[in-house]
Structure 1
Amino acid sequence: MDYVGQIIRPPSEANSIILQVTVGCSHNKCTFCGAYKEKRFSIKEFSTIAADLDFAARYCQRQHKLFLADGDALIIPYPRLLTIFQEIREKLPWVRRISLYASARSIRSKSVEQLQQLKALGLDRVYLGLESGCDNVLKDVTKGESTANMIAAAKIVNSAGLFLSITVLLGLAGLSGSREHAVKSAEALNLMQPRQIAALTYMPLANTSLGKQFLAGDFVLPGPEDILVELQTLVEHIETAAQFHANHASNYLPITGRLPRDRHKIIAAIEQAQSDTRQLVPESLRRL
């Protein structure tokens, strides 16, 4: 398989065939994200993609899921994207689920009907990074989107009948904005109605603008106890029905459950960790 640079994928795609159809991220301006800083965005040549599919057809017959990398594969113009999906269906007929990262902008560039056509060819899951439901936080981190635009994108995905997974980044608003970040993120999630919510915890990276602000003392990062409070506030305000995961390697307290059904159980686990911080993942073991 032809891979350019480091490949990033969601934890739930661990056993998927990874087909890199774009290099980097089409936006690549978020001040907190260092995943694609060393890559210049481009769409791969179809001949390269086709060769990778030939490889997968020969060696990946036991894998029934496929993930389209890198960041924001949905930004590919629809006719070209349709051809890729048709090629996947033809060469890998045993693949039951195709997933990808998408930005709100790339989602809005596609119609519900176009997404439904891709669904008919195997598209099942769309991963969207909300990061925060606060417009001021989104502006500060140069996300390039408003909360309203993110909600609009989510409604397109839902209307197409696709599985929507949304990521929220704990700690992104710093210590002073922690509560507002949690409450407004929950409010946005309630309107977006994802089927899965993933809460990660922000970790400063030296190759990012926000990471440099942190090192300079201009960004105050919430401590572990503060993150637990933020997590609890988020859980308390989420009303939409969704699978909830806060078990990423960046998190201090691995949690998973179904909201709102498991709200009390999740909050009890958080409160127990607040009274006994030995349950928290040590800093040395946290990873992005």
Structure 2
Amino acid sequence: MHYTGTVWRPPYEASSLLIEATAGCTHHKCKFCTLYDDLPFKFRMTPPEVVEADLKEAREQSRLWNYNRAARVFLVGANPFVLSAARLLETAALICKYFPDNKSIGCFSRITDITLKTDGELAELQRAGYDGLTIGIETGDNEALRFMNKGYEAQDILTQCRRLDKAGISYNFFYLTGISGAGKGEKGAYDTAAICNQLQPKVIGANMLTIYKNAELYQEIQNGNWQEETEIEKYKELRTLVEHLNIPVWFAAGGASNAIPIQGYLPRDRKKVLSVLEEIIQNVKEEELRDYRKNLRHL
């Protein structure tokens, strides 16, 4: 199997067959991101013959274990959905060739990747099995989106995800707690809830901003241009987000960046989730949470 650098995948893709479709990120300008700094290039497409070789190897390995199935394939890379519809359909055909029982295909996508597809292409991709995209929207706070160089604004999230809704392609969001900065987190959470409440994400996964010295954001802090929230502020921000989400959605703050895992289905589990958040805000010391953040060597 061919994998380049660190392999990233959402927690809920743990049972998916991981196939590298791209490596690196086409954008690679977000001030907080260091996920792909271990690569000697910005972005690279995996040749179709390499994708096919990996699918063939995966099938052979599955046969050794008398398990010649893959219910779901997750295409590895920062944003494989940036590939042309034709290339994505070619990949879907290869998956069907080697795993005819496969039910769906997922991957990471930027909001701007959706923009590149026509409505007809999105519908065709849905018929080919693409579903459950994971999109790092990060926030609905336009000021933060602009400062962090995300390359889109809140209205773009609405426009493009509504197109996914129309095409029948489901999606999950990553929210980045702390992206708005000190004193602005709760407003950022409110703005994000306002955007999400107009859409249909299946999952909202919250990750907490962790700033490493090789991030551009670290230098912005040194220059006095931005200030990080305290750890307790980040939990207050999450509390605001959970309070204002009015759609049926699985909420989870469970990745390594979260010192204390929290999850529940909203709105059913809202009181339970808010109770946990309130307990953290009132009784966990800032120093303990900050020590966790400082000692988090890798996401």
Alignment partner, residue 187 of structure 2: 180
1:171 corresponds to which of 156, 171, 178: 178
| Residues 1:36 and 2:43 aligned together | no
Query: Which stretch has the larger CA shift, 20-29 or 56-65?
Result: 56-65
Check if 1:251 corresponds to 2:258: yes
Query: Which stretch of the first structure deviates more once superposed, 209-218 or 185-194?
Result: 209-218
TM-score (norm 1): 0.93
CA contact (8 A) 2:31 2:217 kept: yes
Shift of 1:124: 2.1
Q: Provide the residue aligned with 1:15 in structure 2.
A: 15
Instruction: Provide runs of 4+ in structure 1 moved above 4 Å.
Output: 215-218, 278-281
Q: Deviations over 1:102-153 (max 9, x none)?
A: 1111112223332332233322211111111011110100000011011111
Moved more, 138-147 or 238-247: 238-247
Partner AA of 1:153 in structure 2: Q
In the aligned structure 2, how far is the partner of 1:191 from the partner of 1:10? 23
Give yes or no for contact 1:174–1:222 (8 Å, CA) kept in 2.
yes
Q: CA deviation at 1:63?
A: 4.2
1:239 to 230, 241, 246: 246
Superposed, 1:96-111 pairs within 5 Å as 96-111=103-118
Counterpart of 2:65?
A: none
Report if aligned partners of 2:70, 2:99 keep a CA contact under 8 Å in 1: no
- Residue 26 of structure 1 is matched in structure 2 by 26
- Asked whether the equivalents of residues 34 and 214 of structure 2 are also in contact (C-alpha less than 8 Å), the reply is yes
What is the SS of the residue equivalent to 1:243? strand
Identity between Structure 1 and Structure 2 (%): 29
Q: For residue 163 of structure 2, what is the aligned residue in structure 1?
A: 156
Match of 1:59 among 58, 61, 68: 61
CA displacement at 1:225 relative to structure 2: 1.2
Matches within 5 A, 1:87-126: 87-126=94-133
Q: Residues 110, 137 of structure 1: CA spacing in aligned structure 2 closer, same or farther, 3 A cutoff?
A: same
For the 8 Å contact 2:104–2:131, the answer to whether it is kept is yes
Matches within 5 A, 1:270-281: 270-277=277-284
Q: Distance in 1 between matches of 2:9 and 2:229?
A: 26
Task: Provide the residue aligned with 1:195 in structure 2.
Answer: 202
Asked whether 1:226 is paired with 2:228, we answer: no
Q: Per-residue CA shift, 1:151-188, capped at 9, x if unaligned?
A: 11111111122221011100111112212111111111
Would you say the 8 A contact 1:89–1:122 is kept in 2?
no
2:85/2:125 contact within 8 Å kept: no
SS in 1 for 2:2: coil
Deviation string for 1:58-107 (max 9, x for gaps)?
11435432110101111111112111111111111232231101111111
Indicate the larger mover: 102-111 or 211-220: 211-220
Does 2:220 match 1:213?
Answer: yes
Q: Show structure 2 runs of 5+ residues with no match.
A: 63-67
The one-character-per-residue Cα deviations of 1:168-212 (angstroms, maximum 9, x if unpaired) are 100111112212111111111112221211111000022210133
- Counterpart in 2 of 1:49? 51
Instruction: Give the root-mean-square deviation of aligned CA atoms.
Output: 2.0
- Structure 2 residue 13 is matched with structure 1 residue 6: no
Q: Which amino acid aligns with 1:54?
A: K
Distance 1:231 1:243 in 2: 14
The gaps in structure 1 that reach 5 residues or longer are: none
